[in-house]
């Protein structure tokens, strides 16, 4: 995708409260979004995956199952409470040895430099609209991905307009994430990008 148009101003939305975390890990949501199928499509056994804005671990669970014993998932969130809930939920499922939780700052992933270029896939599902500076986030995502690595990005249409979503794809392209596929994830706008 190439566009000479300057992206519009990013609409920064309120952070999803940890007090509502229970709404995000339900059977209905599993039935609608099939996170197991998402993992099957974009994650391979042995992969290193970053789940940005992991919340209570709705997607992390399936990524951790999919990567198997030889892979690893880094689950990153701004809110410590979300990471605590994730650990309480996924501990009894035996998945924690494959998961590292990391609390980030609102404007930076804050991962150590030795993790640069080490991830096969990064997911940012229903979170970019809550981030103050998406271009900065995409730059950091680009940095941690291996060349040829995949970035799966999705945002809801009732929060992020088609124009805003395209602006974010332009921001991502600027920092070395090339659009490979535009798709829908249930009713949500989604894109698969590749680290060049
Ligand atoms: C709407 S929730 C949904 C996320 C999850 N991917 C899901 O669909 O189940 C958004 C999550 O992103 C986190 N978040 C918001 N802003 C963030 C930021 N700047 N950095 C990291 N996480 C952030 C929130 O704490 C919340 O857990």
Ligand 1 mutation pick, 53, 54, 144, max ligand atoms within 8 A of CB? 53
Residue 75 structure tokens: 């689950």
Which residue from 77, 136, 141 has its CB within 8 A of the most atoms of ligand 1, so it is best to mutate?
77
Query: 153 CB less than 6 Å from ligand 1?
Result: no
Which position has the token pair 């974010």? 168
Distance, in Å, from the CA atom of 95 to the CA atom of 71, rounded to the nearest integer, reads 11
The pLDDT value recorded for residue 7 is: 77
- Residuewise pLDDT in 10s, the chain (196 residues): 444 567 778 877 899 999 999 999 999 999 999 999 999 999 999 999 999 999 999 999 999 999 999 999 999 999 999 999 999 999 999 999 999 999 999 999 999 999 999 999 999 999 999 999 999 999 999 999 999 999 999 999 999 999 999 999 999 999 999 999 999 999 999 999 999 9
Q: Does 15 sit in the ligand 1 pocket, CB within 6 Å?
A: yes
Tell me, what's the pLDDT at 6? 72
| Predicted pLDDT at 2 | 44
Ligand 1 atom nearest residue 25's Cα: 9
The listed CATH number (3.30.1120.80, 3.40.50.150, 3.40.47.10, 3.30.420.10) that belongs to domain 34-195: 3.40.50.150
Q: What local confidence, expressed as pLDDT, does residue 1 receive? A: 47
User: How far are the Cα atoms of 21, 129, 166, 172, 177 from residue 135, in angstroms, in the given order?
Assistant: 27, 12, 13, 7, 11
Q: Is the CB of 58 under 6 A from ligand 1?
A: yes
Helix extents (H) in the chain: 27-33, 35-42, 58-67, 80-90, 134-144, 162-174
Q: Which of the listed residues 27, 38, 52, 55 should we mutate to test ligand 1's pocket, taking the one with most ligand atoms within 8 A of CB?
A: 55
Average pLDDT in the chain: 95
pLDDT value at position 5? 63
Domain boundaries, the chain: 34-195
- Nearest residue (by CA) to ligand 1, atom 13, is 53
The pLDDT tens digits of the residues spanning 112-135 come to: 999 999 999 999 999 999 999 999
C-alpha of residue 4 to centroid of ligand 1, in Å: 30
Residue 78 beta carbon below 6 angstroms from any ligand 1 atom: yes
Is any atom of ligand 1 closer than 6 Å to the C-beta of 85? no
């Amino acid at each position: 995708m190439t566009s000479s148009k300057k992206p519009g101003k990013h609409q920064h939305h309120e952070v999803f409260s940890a007090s509502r975390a229970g709404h995000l890990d339900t059977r209905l949501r599993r039935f609608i979004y099939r996170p197991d199928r998402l993992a099957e499509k974009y994650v391979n056994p042995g992969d290193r995956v970053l789940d940005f804005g992991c919340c209570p671990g709705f997607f992390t669970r399936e990524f951790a199952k999919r990567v198997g014993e030889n892979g690893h998932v880094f689950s990153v969130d701004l809110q410590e409470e979300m990471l605590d809930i994730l650990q309480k939920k996924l501990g009894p499922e035996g998945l924690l040895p494959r998961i590292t939780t990391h609390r980030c700052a609102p404007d930076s992933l804050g991962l150590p430099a030795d993790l640069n270029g080490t991830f096969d896939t990064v997911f940012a599902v229903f979170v970019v609209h809550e981030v103050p500076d998406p271009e900065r986030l995409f730059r950091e995502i680009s940095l941690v991905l291996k060349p040829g690595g995949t970035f799966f990005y999705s945002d809801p249409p009732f929060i992020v307009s088609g124009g805003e979503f395209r602006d974010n794809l332009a921001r991502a392209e600027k920092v070395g994430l090339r659009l490979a596929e535009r798709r829908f994830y249930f009713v949500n706008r989604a894109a698969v990008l590749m680290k060049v």
